[in-house]
Chain A
Amino acid sequence: MRDLLLVENLTQVFGGRNQTVAVDDVSFRIPAEPTIVNLVGESGSGKSTIARIILGLLRPTAGRVLYDGTDILTPDRGWNRIFRSEVQAVFQDPYSVYNPVYKAERVLKLVIRKFGLAKNKSEARVMMEEALRAVDLRPEEVLDRHPHQLSGGQRQRLMLARVYLMRPRLIIADEPVSMIDAGMRASFLNILLDFRDTHGISTLFITHDLSTAMYLGGEIIVLYQGRIMEQGETRGVMQAPQHPYAQLLISSIPTPDPRRRWEEDLSTGPLAEIELSAAMERDRCLFADRCPQVMEKCWGARPTLGPLEADAAVADSRQVACYLY
């Protein structure tokens, strides 16, 4: 079966004289069967840039993105319309998406009108109410309100209701829960899980928050300075990360359990934060200067992403870019 999304050797370089490599030769796939892929990394790791490229908002310096086998930059209006309806975005700030002048119902009405989803007004009403219930919102509580009268959680779920109307095959969600309170977060994530299980909608979930990625499960891709360091099944990676960077990242999650506190004091030593240098030598492992297990080899050439050796303790689809393996 064709992959739903295939990202091939994506590279994005910004700037003229002082060039910044935001995305550096990144490849991954989202299979045709409904799934959730988590793209995680610190700020500046290139995760949002990848999202923008996949959505067609940014033309990559090199590489390409295939959606259902076709390059997303294909200049064909008919195909474009399909792509625009089958791939939907949810962004970080649930407030800036709305026009404050209009009532909340407008975001739903617009979609129904633009894509001709309903034959008449009453059918549109039924569709809107169904979509709202699918995201745990009560129609009477949101439709007649203005955006500022809704909470962050409600606004973000309203975006999911809009997405639901379209019945897309893929949602690109860029930090969708970082501005919602903990109590509401679970409800938002549950909706994504329901979308996958009952409606066959896949999600590319972009986040810096590893605990939400862990909750969603599926696959995980760990980015560092524009490169993939490790990828594999989320549960396996979270339990036994192999790349030293992934190990550092996962061990630094503030576990909500006061009996399992961080042991090692990271505030000093080789892991202390590196300074930003204007032009960085990229022909090496980018994590070498912070890596506790750094070797001579790491400074020489870039490690490629590959499967773990056969005798490794983990036996999943794990890929790691590290000379240790």
Chain B
Amino acid sequence: MAALLEIRGLSAGLQGRRSVTQVVSNVDLDVQSGEILGVVGESGCGKSTLATAIMRLLTPPQVLQSGTMTMNLKDGSAYELLRLSPRALRELRWRHLSYIPQGSMNSLNPVLRVGRQMTDTLIQHGLSQAEAHERSVAALQLVNLEPRLLESYPHELSGGMRQRVIIAAAVSMRPALIVADELTTALDVVTQRQILQELTNIRDELGATIILITHDMGVVAQIADRVAVMYAGKIAELGAVNGIFEAPLHPYSQGLIGSIPRESGQRIVGLPGEAPSPWNYPTGCRFHPRCPKVFDPCSEYEPGLRTQGSGRWAACHLYDAEVVSDA
């Protein structure tokens, strides 16, 4: 079966006066139907740019440079996201493709009731007032909120409730794909746990696919099925969550997982150095200046994302027999 979303050679950057600075480089990624895919990386690694590119919401100076993105829906229809007209795109968004941007719980309109803000979108997509109301109530129930909250103003709700309203709005059209960027970052751990569990329930109930963008390895370990580790605009490693956490292949994933505090009194080193900014991505492997396992080819050739068997992919010369034997 074809993947729900097939991303090929996606590159996006920032338009400067003379040239484009590439932020996301040549990303190949298949998002499987019904999975929760965690996209992790440090700030500035391009994970939010990737999310906005998927939604086709890049705004100048951000530009899309190349690539294709195909969305294959269950009814057999396929959409080439990068070719769609603005009108067709508007149809697709929310109905099939939904986005929860970072910090969106603070973007509810303070002077409109929650219900109005939820039904507006639905009516825009051709539902009647009554249908829209019904859908909104159903969506609120998915996140354990009472229907009477439709009458509330955003300031009457706690942060966790506002985030739930946003999730409810995003899933009210029962989209096939939900892209959520730092969904629980501003919330405390108990609320975070509840919301992530609700998200998992939504996936099960609606059969939706979720791309969860986060910097929190703990969140990914708790709810993701697969993980894509991003570094400096590229996917460094991709695979099932258990495998990545138990035996990360890429030295960057190893560093990222190794820098999680686990126990008192047991010192960890963390990742030395700083992630590069798009203006000075190193040549060769972009991680090589920080890599503890760096060897000759790393500064010269850029490693491609290669399959390592059992659904695991890594972009590292260590796992390329030819390169290793040459060196």
List residues of A whose CB falls within 8 A of some B CB: 42-43, 151-154, 181-187, 189-190, 193, 208, 210-212, 214-217, 234-235, 238, 248-249, 252-259, 261-262, 265-268, 271-273, 275-276
Bound together, the chains give a CA A187 to CA B261 distance in angstroms of: 11
- The contact of B222 among A208, A261, A266, by CB within 8 Å, is A261
Residue B191, interface by CB 8 Å: yes
8 nearest CB pairs, A to B: A254-B218, A183-B271, A186-B270, A215-B261, A42-B188, A217-B264, A181-B42, A252-B193
Bound together, the chains give a CA A120 to CA B260 distance in angstroms of: 43
Q: Which of B2-10, B251-259, B303-311 contacts A (4 or more CB under 8 A)?
A: B251-259
Query: In the complex, what's the smallest C-beta–C-beta distance from B45 to chain A, in angstroms?
Result: 9
Q: A152-B43, A186-B270, A254-B222 are in contact. Are A259 and B264 (CB under 8 A)?
A: no
With a cutoff of 8 Å between Cβ atoms, the chain B residues found around residue A271 in the complex are 190, 194
Residue B302, interface by CB 8 Å: no
Q: A182-B217, A259-B242 are in contact. Are A215 and B193 (CB under 8 A)?
A: no
Residue B69, interface by CB 8 Å: no
Bound together, the chains give a CA A216 to CA B222 distance in angstroms of: 23
Tell whether, in the assembled complex, residue A186 and residue B264 are in contact, meaning their CB atoms are under 8 Å apart: no
With a cutoff of 8 Å between Cβ atoms, the chain B residues found around residue A183 in the complex are 42, 255-256, 259, 270-271, 275
Tell whether, in the assembled complex, residue B245 and residue A258 are in contact, meaning their CB atoms are under 8 Å apart: yes
Tell whether, in the assembled complex, residue B222 and residue A275 are in contact, meaning their CB atoms are under 8 Å apart: no
Q: A252-B193, A275-B158 are in contact. Are A262 and B264 (CB under 8 A)?
A: no
Tell whether, in the assembled complex, residue B270 and residue A187 are in contact, meaning their CB atoms are under 8 Å apart: yes
Residue B123, interface by CB 8 Å: no
- The contact of A262 among B42, B157, B159, B197, by CB within 8 Å, is B197
Tell whether, in the assembled complex, residue B218 and residue A186 are in contact, meaning their CB atoms are under 8 Å apart: no
- The contact of A265 among B188, B192, B197, B265, by CB within 8 Å, is B197
Tell whether, in the assembled complex, residue B265 and residue A186 are in contact, meaning their CB atoms are under 8 Å apart: no
Tell whether, in the assembled complex, residue B264 and residue A273 are in contact, meaning their CB atoms are under 8 Å apart: no
Tell whether, in the assembled complex, residue B221 and residue A267 are in contact, meaning their CB atoms are under 8 Å apart: no
Tell whether, in the assembled complex, residue A214 and residue B261 are in contact, meaning their CB atoms are under 8 Å apart: yes
Query: In the complex, what's the smallest C-beta–C-beta distance from B260 to chain A, in angstroms?
Result: 5
Bound together, the chains give a CA A272 to CA B260 distance in angstroms of: 29
Nearest B residue to A42 via CB reads: B188
- The contact of B274 among A153, A234, A273, by CB within 8 Å, is A153
Most chain B CB within a 10 A radius of its CB, from A182, A216, A253, A255: A182
